[in-house]
Chains A and B, each alone.
Chain A
Amino acid sequence: MANLKDIRDRIKSVKSIQKVTKAMKMVAAAKMRKAQERMEQARPYSNSLSDIIQNILPDVDRDMLPLLDMREIKRKAYVIVCADRGLAGAFNTNLLKIAQREIDEFGKDNVDLFCVGKKARDHFTYRNYNVIESHVDFWAEMEFENAMMIGRSIIDHFISGSVDEIHVVYNYFVNIGQQEVRSETLLPLSYDTNEATGSDRLYEPSKEELVNTLIPRHLNVQMWKYLLESYASEQAARMLSMENATSNAQDMIKDLTLQFNKARQAAITTEMLEIVGGAEALG
């Protein structure tokens, strides 16, 4: 039987851990709400932008635009969006596992990596993957600028011809209880090849130039969406896992308290038996 002091110490330490997990849960919940709000706010912009693009693209010549260039795929780039920190359940591990499998299938020597989040950077640099850029430590004060920066370097990488296709792996926010790892192709851009609309709208400057400036912006917004989705997912995952941790701690405290009481009772009983035994011996 464990001695009383040991059990008391364990109860104390579990209680203080529980305090931490409870606080983390609360913080994650607040951050998630904020991220969700920003996702809502970003929606009208990205929708309007896609509308415009879908309207113009059928009217332009695909060959004119380097960002629509379909090449034979010899080299790919992957953008891995995950978190800076752990303690979020399977959030990072799941994503990294899926990303790594996909990359290995294509051949890791032919893949360039853009890592977003410390966990992704550490995972892939440690395993000697070809990480060419990483963006870390910005989540707390994430701004649209961050998305623009990442977007710009991806676009440059594609246009320079270093890679022929760009994928993004990120956590999609389904709802609070569910996040889904998704892998999407970002470039070359795909679109419906419906017929030209033939409207007499005015385009200034030319359609081609417009599309050339529209698409990078569209990609920035896409990137922004990925960041927001991932951030919201991360916070949701952390909230849930901390919730579980808190209730596990509660169970542990219950068990330990029971053990403590049993041990205490046993100690009292033995002591009493000793006294009774002693009294009888004196008898």
Chain B
Amino acid sequence: MSSYNVEIVTPIREIKLGDVSYLRCPGLDGSFGVMRNHREGIFALSVGEVKVTQNGKDEYFATSGGFAEILNDSVKLLVESLERSNEIDADRANKSFERAQERRIKQDSELNETRIEASLVRALNRLRISKR
């Protein structure tokens, strides 16, 4: 009935999800939800969590940003990285979080501040979603 297909494309893999009834994406100005017959458009996504409701079950993904192309009866997510909540390597996320924090304290001049900030946000996001 009111379900549609979602296609998630990253540079290293492609995930196809059918029968999605609800999709929540991290837009630049806050999360937004997509249901069937959403208005067509292209939306930029920021670092955050993608929630997919499929046959009444929820799934969570961590993403580091990208785009959502919403068409009449399907949605295509173009994201640079995507990890299902149970696929996230929490140890690795923890390590990159610590590394980023260290760099912020040390004020590593090689890397500029926005980059450090960005990696911190990404690591935090992955950590949070891995606990879902």
Residues of A in contact with B (beta carbons under 8 Å apart): 38, 41-42, 44-46, 48-49, 52, 56, 144, 148, 199-205, 209-210, 213-214, 217, 220-221, 224
B76 touches A203 (CB 8 A): no
Q: List 21 A-B contacts (CB under 8 A).
A: A41-B12, A41-B14, A42-B11, A42-B12, A45-B11, A48-B9, A48-B78, A49-B78, A52-B67, A52-B69, A52-B78, A56-B42, A144-B12, A201-B40, A202-B70, A204-B44, A205-B44, A210-B42, A217-B66, A221-B11, A224-B11
> Separation in Å of the A202 CB from the closest CB of chain B?
3
- Report the minimum CB–CB distance from B125 to chain A (whole Å): 16
CB-CB nearest in chain B for A204: B43
Indicate if B28 sits at the interface (CB-CB under 8 A): yes
From B14, B28, B44, B69, A44 is in contact (CB under 8 Å) with B14
Residues of B near A203 (CB, < 8 A) are 41-43
Which residues on B sit within 8 Å (CB–CB) of A49? 78
Inter-chain contact B44/A210, CB cutoff 8 Å? yes
In whole Å, how far is A142's beta carbon from the nearest beta carbon of chain B? 11
Once the chains are docked, how many angstroms separate the CA of A153 from the CA of B84?
Answer: 30
Q: Are A144 and B81 in contact (CB under 8 A)?
A: yes
Within 8 Å of chain A (Cβ to Cβ): is B59? no
CB pair A204–B12 under 8 Å, yes or no, is no
Main secondary structure of the interface of B (DSSP, over half): strand
Most buried by A among B11, B43, B78: B11
Measured in the bound complex, the distance between the Cα atoms of B28 and A38 in whole Å is 30
Does B106 sit at the interface, judged by CB under 8 A?
Answer: no
A-B contacts, CB under 8 A, total = 65
A110→B110 CA distance, assembly (Å): 26
Q: Are A144 and B11 in touch, CB under 8 angstroms?
A: yes
Determine the distance from Cα of A61 to Cα of B13 in the docked complex, in whole angstroms.
33
- Cα distance, A171 to B87, chains bound together (Å): 35
Contact with A along B70-81 (1 / 0, CB 8 A): 100000101011
| Chain A residues whose CB sits within 8 angstroms of the CB of B48 once the complex forms | none
Q: How far is the CB of B40 from chain A (nearest CB, A)?
A: 5
| Bound CA span A16–B78, Å | 50
Q: Which residue of B lies closest to A152 (CB)?
A: B115
Give the residues from 23 to 73 in chain B that come closer than 8 angstroms, CB to CB, to chain A. Answer: 27-29, 39-44, 66-67, 69-70
> Contact at A201–B80, with CB atoms within 8 Å?
no
A204 to B68, CA, bound (A): 10
Shortest CB distance A52–B (Å): 6
A212's nearest neighbour on chain B, judged by CB, is B44
B76 touches A46 (CB 8 A): no
Asked if residues B11 and A46 are in contact (CB atoms below 8 Å), the reply is yes
Is B10 close to A, CB under 8 A? Answer: yes
Contact A202 B40 (CB under 8 A): yes
Shortest Cβ gap from A124 to chain B (Å): 23
A45 touching B42, Cβ below 8 Å: no
